[in-house]
Structure formats: C-alpha cells, structure tokens
C-alpha cells in the first residue's frame, strides 16, 4: 500500500464514491476540493458514470442506502451488490471504505470474505475499513470538514491507509481498534438519541397526567451545569437515521440471543407519539363540544426537522394519516414541502382565512420562518407539539402543548 500513500500525498490518487446521496455527494465534493480526481458512481443515471471505473480507482467510499425491510430487519442488499461489483475489479493498492450505517460485523463478515475471495490479501494487497458518516442535515456549523470522523480498519494497516486519505479532507480523524468498533460507535450515537428522545417523550406523557408543563420542567433541569443534557419531546422520531439505525443493532443482538430492551422500549414510545398527538387534538376539540370526526384540522410543518425539506420517516405524516382516519378534514402547510404521499391530504396556503377555517391548528414542525404571533392570533385552537409558540404573549389560552 506504499504506492497508495504516495498517490494520496502527491494528489495523483483517483478517488471514487459509490452512492451520491445526502452522504456521498458532499464527500465526493470534499475530495474534489482537496485536489483529487473523483468519480461518483450511482445507479441513478442522472447522477453519474458507470461502474467500470472501479477498475481504475485507488479508493472507493461506499455510501449506499441501508434501509429496513418490512419486518424492521436490516436490508444490506445495496452493500452486498456494490461489494460484488468491487470484487470483480479489486486490484492491488486499492482502499475500500464502507460509510453506510450498519450492524457491527458487516465490514469483516460481509465485505471481507467477498473481497478476500479474489486471492488478494487484506492489509497487504488492499485495505478495508469502516468509517461512519455523521452528516447532520441543515447544520450550518458542523459540516464534513470540521466534524471529527471515526475510522476503524480491518487491520492496523487498513486503519493507517484510510486515515491518511480522510485526513486530507477532514480536520480530525479518530481511529478505533477495529471496523466493528467503528460500526458500534455510530449505533451508540444514534441509539443514544433514540433512547433519550424516548425517555423525554415518556416524561411528556407523565407530565400530562400530573398536570405539569414538560417544557418548563426540562428548561429548569437544563440549568444544572453538569450531569444533565436536555432532549425535547415531540410528535415522534423522524429522519433517515435515528428511527432506523437502532434496529440494526437490535437485530444483530437478536442473532446472539440478546434482547436490546432499551431500543425496543424507546421505539415503542416514540412510534406511539403521533397517536398521542391525535388524542390531544381529540381532547382539545372535546372541550369545545366538537368531535374529531368532521373537524377541520390544519397541520403546520411536515418535515421531520425544522427548517429542512426532509420528509423521510417524518412523524407528521403519521399525524396526518391518523387524523384523516378519524374522519377529520385535513390540510397541511409547510414552507418547504407542497406534496405528501397521502391520498386526500393536500397542502394549502398559510393565510388568516385558513388559520381561521380550522377548528384546530396542529404545529408538528417548528420552522423558524413561521410568524407564531400571527398564527396564534388567527387560529381558534392550537395543539403545539414542539413548544414553537413559547414566545407568544397574546392568546395563550388557545394553546395546548404536548
Ligand atoms: N442522510 C443522513 O443524514 C445520514 C447520516 C449518517 C449516515 N447515513 C447513512 O449513509 C448511508 C447513505 O445514506 P444517504 O442518506 O446518503 O442515502 P441516499 O438515499 O440519499 O443516497 C444513496 C444513493 O445511493 C445510490 N445507490 C443505491 N444503490 C446503488 C448501487 N448499487 N450502486 C451505486 N449507487 C447506488 C442511490 O441512487 C442514491 O443516490 C446510509 O447507510 C445512511 O444510513 C445517512
């Protein structure tokens, strides 16, 4: 792998990235900006060049999807098919780095045997490592270059080669002892979020029963300068990572006769939050002698995260479906999204007329572009699942928090 290091140093290395999505595209751009020749490979013909270039490239970073199947089991078929394509063209001096989130053991149980079947020796003829992506969509402070990156090679030589490449575009690369450890780091990070969000969602349910304002309780607890980290409740988990990744870990543990109880419990609480939101809406309407059936509901914000247009796994979609199933007439507004894939649910303009038309306005995403003063002024009742109206002074008697 000496020649590989030399090529990285003198910028003659030909780098490639497979899967040009949220993760792969910024990575490819990062390498290009650092002065490397980069080829992006994708099955979407709009995005790229074909796979034959793998025979020429010095490095391959794999950033393909890792979804869940219908039964919430890992679907690593994208990784497997890409590995087969790489195997056909694997050559001495090549570095392969898997970046897709996956369960511990994927790199050395799924990729390694296939690549080693070529007769080439890992750590000697070619290198193989895992390095999880930490992209935070919409984050303008922490991007690829200034977010520390974890890296674990299948052998120490693999770690060394992969670190050398990634250090050219990322300020801090943190090595761990193995590819499995690197895979587990990513799953710890995401499970940590899923479990803590599950905990705070349950605290919201407890506070509702105790007649307490969960937001006040969290804000007060967050004044403790040590030993507490605030998480906030909401209508459920969204995005591509947090709702899905812990299931990769739980699945792997199941094969080892171990039940990942925290993951199961957090999933149970988080996936039930949209039901809780709808119960809240029904109760609020009930207080004014209205039934949820036949009520007019305006849902504000359907992206899973404020100030993004990302609909993936958004809990707002479940809220829309559940409201519709209860017989409500539902419209939504989102400054970044005009369509959702739910028949009979359409977007609308955000006007005083629409705010006033609705029997209840439900805030599911706290986009910062909304004028919450004017929303509260015009709406008749508001269920605020994000405490987005916290600074509104007038009309607070119309606001019902989660
Ligand atoms: N999006 C995030 O915020 C994020 C953050 C951290 C980790 N991840 C992980 O990174 C991985 C990729 O996620 P993403 O969000 O970039 O997904 P994505 O769906 O945005 O992009 C994946 C790309 O891979 C392409 N692709 C699929 N099969 C292919 C094949 N056989 N050959 C070539 N290209 C192929 C698709 O066309 C698509 O362009 C996943 O494992 C995900 O869990 C994502």
List the residue whose alpha carbon is closest to atom 44 of ligand 1.
23
The helix (run of H) or strand (run of E) holding residue 115 is helix 112-116
Task: Say what the pLDDT of residue 49 is.
Answer: 61
Question: Is residue 209 predicted with pLDDT exceeding 90?
Answer: yes
Using an 8 Å Cβ cutoff, are 150 and 133 in contact? no
- State what percent of residues in the chain have pLDDT above 90: 92
305 C-beta closer than 6 A to ligand 1: no
Task: Say what the pLDDT of residue 353 is.
Answer: 96
Spell 207-219 as b/e; 16+ CB within 10 A means b. bbeeeeebbebbe
Using an 8 Å Cβ cutoff, are 302 and 332 in contact? yes
Q: What is the pTM of this model?
A: 0.91
Question: Is residue 136 predicted with pLDDT exceeding 90?
Answer: no
| Residue among 192, 20, 162 at smallest CA distance from 94 | 162
Give the span between the Cα atoms of 108 and 125, in whole angstroms.
16
Give the span between the Cα atoms of 190 and 187, in whole angstroms.
5
Q: How far is the CA of 303 from the centre of ligand 1 (A)?
A: 19
- State what percent of residues in the chain have pLDDT above 70: 99
Using an 8 Å Cβ cutoff, are 377 and 395 in contact? yes
Task: Say what the pLDDT of residue 62 is.
Answer: 97
Q: How far is the CA of 392 from the centre of ligand 1 (A)?
A: 40
List the residue whose alpha carbon is closest to atom 33 of ligand 1.
42
The pLDDT mean for the chain works out to 95
Q: How many residues does the chain have?
A: 402
Handedness of CA 340, 309, 75, 322 (dihedral sign): negative
CA distance to 75, 84, 96, 122, 166, per residue, from 154 (Å): 22, 18, 11, 8, 16
310 C-beta closer than 6 A to ligand 1: no
Query: Is 207 a catalytic site residue?
Result: no
> How does pLDDT run across 91-107, given as a tens digit for each residue?
999 999 999 999 999 99
How many other CB atoms sit within 10 Å of the CB of residue 272?
17
Q: How far is the CA of 19 from the centre of ligand 1 (A)?
A: 5
> How does pLDDT run across 1-42, given as a tens digit for each residue?
878 999 999 999 999 999 999 899 999 999 999 999 999 999
pLDDT band at 50 (very low <50, low <70, confident <90, very high): low
List the residue whose alpha carbon is closest to atom 20 of ligand 1.
21
> How does pLDDT run across 137-174, given as a tens digit for each residue?
778 899 999 999 999 999 999 999 999 999 999 999 99
Provide mean pLDDT across the span 260-266.
97
| Residue among 23, 15, 100 at smallest CA distance from 59 | 15
Task: Say what the pLDDT of residue 71 is.
Answer: 83
Task: Say what the pLDDT of residue 245 is.
Answer: 94
196 C-beta closer than 6 A to ligand 1: no
């Amino acid at each position: 792998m000496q020649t590989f290091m030399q090529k990285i140093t003198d910028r003659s290395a030909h780098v490639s990235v497979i899967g040009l999505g949220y993760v792969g595209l910024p990575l490819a751009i990062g390498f290009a900006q650092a002065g490397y020749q980069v080829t992006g490979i994708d099955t979407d013909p709009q995005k790229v060049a074909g796979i034959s270039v793998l025979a020429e490239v010095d490095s391959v970073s794999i950033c393909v999807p890792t979804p869940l199947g219908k039964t919430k089991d890992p679907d690593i078929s994208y990784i497997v098919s890409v590995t087969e394509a790489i195997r056909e063209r694997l050559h001495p001096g090549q570095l392969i780095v898997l970046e897709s989130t996956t369960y511990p053991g994927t790199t050395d149980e799924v990729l390694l045997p296939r690549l080693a079947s070529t007769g080439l020796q890992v750590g000697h003829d070619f290198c193989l490592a895992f390095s999880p992506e930490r992209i935070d969509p919409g984050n303008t402070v922490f991007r690829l270059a200034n977010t520390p990156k974890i890296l674990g090679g299948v052998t120490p030589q693999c770690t060394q080669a992969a670190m050398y490449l990634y250090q050219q575009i990322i300020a801090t690369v943190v090595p761990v002892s193995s590819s499995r450890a690197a895979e587990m780091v990513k799953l710890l990070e995401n499970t940590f979020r899923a479990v803590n969000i599950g905990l705070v969602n349950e605290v919201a349910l407890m506070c509702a029963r105790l007649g307490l304002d969960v937001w006040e309780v969290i804000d007060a607890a967050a004044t403790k300068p040590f030993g507490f980290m605030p998480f906030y409740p909401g209508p459920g988990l969204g995005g591509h990572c947090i709702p899905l990744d812990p299931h990769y870990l739980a699945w792997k543990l199941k094969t080892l006769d171990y039940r990942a109880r925290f993951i199961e419990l957090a999933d149970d609480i988080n996936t039930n939050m949209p039901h809780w939101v709808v119960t809240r809406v029904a109760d609020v309407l009930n207080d004014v002698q209205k039934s949820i059936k036949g009520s007019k509901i305006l849902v504000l914000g359907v992206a899973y995260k404020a100030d993004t247009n990302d609909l993936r796994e958004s809990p707002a979609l479940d809220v829309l479906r559940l409201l519709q199933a209860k017989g409500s007439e539902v419209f939504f507004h989102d400054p970044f999204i005009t369509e959702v894939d739910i028949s009979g649910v359409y977007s609308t303009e955000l006007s005083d007329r629409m705010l006033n038309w609705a029997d209840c306005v439900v805030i599911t995403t706290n986009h910062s572009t909304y004028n919450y003063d004017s929303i509260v002024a015009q709406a008749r009742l508001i269920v605020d699942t994000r405490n987005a109206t916290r600074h509104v002074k007038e009309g607070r008697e119309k606001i019902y928090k989660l």
